[in-house]
Amino acid sequence: MFFHIVLERNMQLHPRHFGRDLRPKLVSKLMKDVEGTCSGRHGFIVAITGVENVGNGLIRDGTGFVTFPVKYQCVVFRPFKGEILEAVVTMVNKMGFFAEAGPVQIFVSNHLIPDDMEFQSGDMPNYTTSDGSVKIQKESEVRLKIIGTRVDATEIFCIGTIKDDFLGVISDPTS
């Protein structure tokens, strides 16, 4: 699920940036540092949408670096148990398949793939129904439901299922 929230971060800036462009430098550094990172609490920071407030800088003894407390608005993505996501399959093996929904990696184990889909090994390993009408392979798009998340301080990993109504392949790369 996506959220638009306000976060705060202490930015350290090298003295060479002190000048007319101090603020733009600060913002671009913030984007570089923060976008794409993940925190267990808020999820993945997808994009910064604005800087609310830059506080007074504090000069560090000895180094000349200055620390600015920056409040910024950003879009975060945090997967939840029970959430339905659309994801792209990245790898298929005998144990199941891996997929990605944006920055989130999801594993669907083979017992959470419908029983009528069988694993086919080969150059392009895949899960296929007996009549061949539905095929899950690399690059397939699937709709899945998250049934478990592992949230570490810097990482979120999910496991999902496609064994339920309206879940499964939504677009086939071959067709």
Residues that bind another protein (CB under 8 A): 91, 93-96, 98, 105, 107, 109-112, 121, 125, 147-148, 150, 157, 159, 161, 163-164
- What is the closest distance, in whole angstroms, from the C-beta atom of residue 173 to another protein in the complex? 20
Phi, psi of 111 (to 5 degrees): -80, -5
Rounded-to-integer distance, Cα 105 and Cα 137, Å: 16
The residue among 34 and 92 lying less far from another protein, judged by its C-beta, is: 92
Of 76, 70, 48, 49, whose CA–CA distance to 58 is shortest? 70
Q: Could you tell me the two tokens for 150?
A: 């592992």
- What is the closest distance, in whole angstroms, from the C-beta atom of residue 113 to another protein in the complex? 11
The residue among 23 and 150 lying less far from another protein, judged by its C-beta, is: 150
The residue among 105 and 128 lying less far from another protein, judged by its C-beta, is: 105
- What is the closest distance, in whole angstroms, from the C-beta atom of residue 125 to another protein in the complex? 6
The residue among 74 and 104 lying less far from another protein, judged by its C-beta, is: 104
- What is the closest distance, in whole angstroms, from the C-beta atom of residue 100 to another protein in the complex? 11
Sheet holding 135-136, edge to edge: 117-120, 126-129, 135-136
Q: Where are the beta strands (DSSP E) in 31-125?
A: 38-39, 43-54, 58-59, 66-77, 84-93, 96-101, 104-109, 117-120
